[in-house]
Amino acid sequence: EATRKRNPTQRDADRRLMLGRLTGEMEREDFRRHGWESALNARAIFAFWEEMQPGLFDDLPEMPPE
């Protein structure tokens, strides 16, 4: 939802920022393939969007610990 509200230039920049934060090649490849729906990167994606839009997930239940 959050990504759809942004214009194409912002979405492209968001994807590049997210890719730059991922440290492992497997994580980066999974994000390239699945984008924001990458289950492998779920925690990193939540952290990214929480930083970009603080409070975005306040109404959701907390994720279980790793």
Question: What six digits make up the tokens of 20?
Answer: 């730059």
| Contact between residue 16 and residue 5 where contact means Cβ atoms under 8 Å apart | no
d(C-alpha 38, C-alpha 29), whole Å: 10
Query: How does pLDDT run across 4-54, given as a tens digit for each residue?
Result: 778 899 999 999 999 999 999 999 999 999 999 999 999 999 999 989 888
**What's the CA gap between 26 and 50, in Å, rounded?**
23
Instruction: Report domain extents, the chain.
Output: 8-52
Q: Which residues contact 43 (CB under 8 A, 6 or more apart)?
A: 63, 66
Q: Model-level pTM?
A: 0.79
